[in-house]
Amino acid sequence: MQVLAIESSCDETAAAVVVDGRVARSSIVASQIDLHAKYGGVVPEVASRQHLRKIIPVIEEALEAADCTLDDIDAVAGTRGPGLAGSLLVGYNAAKAIAFGRDLPFLGINHLEGHIYANWLVEGPEPRFPALALVVSGGHTDLVFMRGHGEYERLGGTRDDAAGEAFDKVGRLLGLPFPGGPHVAKKALEGGKSSLHLPRARMGGTYDFSFSGLKTAVLHIVHAGQYSVPDIAWEFQEAVVDVLTEKTSRLAQELGAVEVLVAGGVAANQRLREELRERCPVPVRIPPMHFCTDNAAMIGAVAGHRFGLGQRSPLDEDIFTTNQWSRV
């Protein structure tokens, strides 16, 4: 069963053809990083206009790379949120239009659920349940317990900045290029232990996160001018990774999860990967780098499993922009 999947929640225009929710026959991503770099962040209106320019060529390239046409497609899926409203509308309505025009089943997919299902695109045995998913991206940081396909319980999340958002903002404070996350991680490799110690918000008694205080602490350190950029980057990364890893490993043990699934753009951070695998009491799955950041293959992976369960979405279903796991 082949799904044509489309993703446009932020600043990547993406399309993919995915077979049975497991195999990505193609995955095409048109990035807008260079377009937004001069602004230091994603400009929503600019992003949506660029999606309009790219959406048809990207879909055509995905079909060509998969060596198929729309005649070979069994269902169409599109990201319905969360994300930027203008960006979401482009990809979501393109997916619905194709489904309507070709009389194909349509599935609207939660972007965060897509990140989790990137773990199903890896060769080998499927992830096992019950599993604990750590979703860490530019806009979201969530701990979600999965008892089965489509069965989610959100047990913790950020109360302010997401982990990826904090990385990007600290990158800006350190004078690093956009997006800040990868550049902070790169600078951290040049730093190391020093007398600098940044706070860890443990949020005692909960599995929630908070990174705004850490970001403010970096601001004061930068203004004081006592430490080098690499040392600040190193300690900041250690503080974020420490909290993410400690809460994930403790919750996995408490719940009796048999696996930890890591998802989202921050899952590409090498230090986070190392610490989770070292400290978690159960096996940790992390998708390859190209499936950590936004892509359409992950949307196709969810759609394949939901299609197999007999689920469909009405064509009059609208987008949503907030982090609502209840709407998965």
Residue range 143-166, pLDDT digits in tens: 999 999 989 999 999 999 999 999
pLDDT band per the 50, 70, 90 thresholds, residue 328: confident
Residues 6+ apart with CB under 8 A from 254: none
Percent of the chain scored above 90 by pLDDT? 94
CATH homologous superfamily, domain 2-118+291-327: ATPase, nucleotide binding domain (3.30.420.40)
User: For residue 326, is pLDDT > 80?
Assistant: no
Whole-number pLDDT of residue 12: 97
- In tens, the pLDDT along 182-199 reads 999 999 999 988 899 999
pTM: 0.96
Give residue 184's Cα distance to chain centre.
18
- In tens, the pLDDT along 284-321 reads 999 999 999 999 999 999 999 999 999 999 999 999 99
| C-alpha closest to that of 39 among 227, 172, 220 | 172
Class of domain 129-286: alpha beta
Question: Would you kindly state where each structural domain of the chain is located, as residue ranges?
Answer: 2-118+291-327, 129-286
Summarize the confidence of residues 175-179 as an average pLDDT. 94
Average pLDDT, the chain: 96
Whole-number pLDDT of residue 325: 80
Topology alike, domains 2-118+291-327 and 129-286: yes
Is it true that the peptide bond before 287 is cis, omega within 30 degrees of 0? no
- In tens, the pLDDT along 56-86 reads 999 999 999 999 999 999 999 999 999 999 9
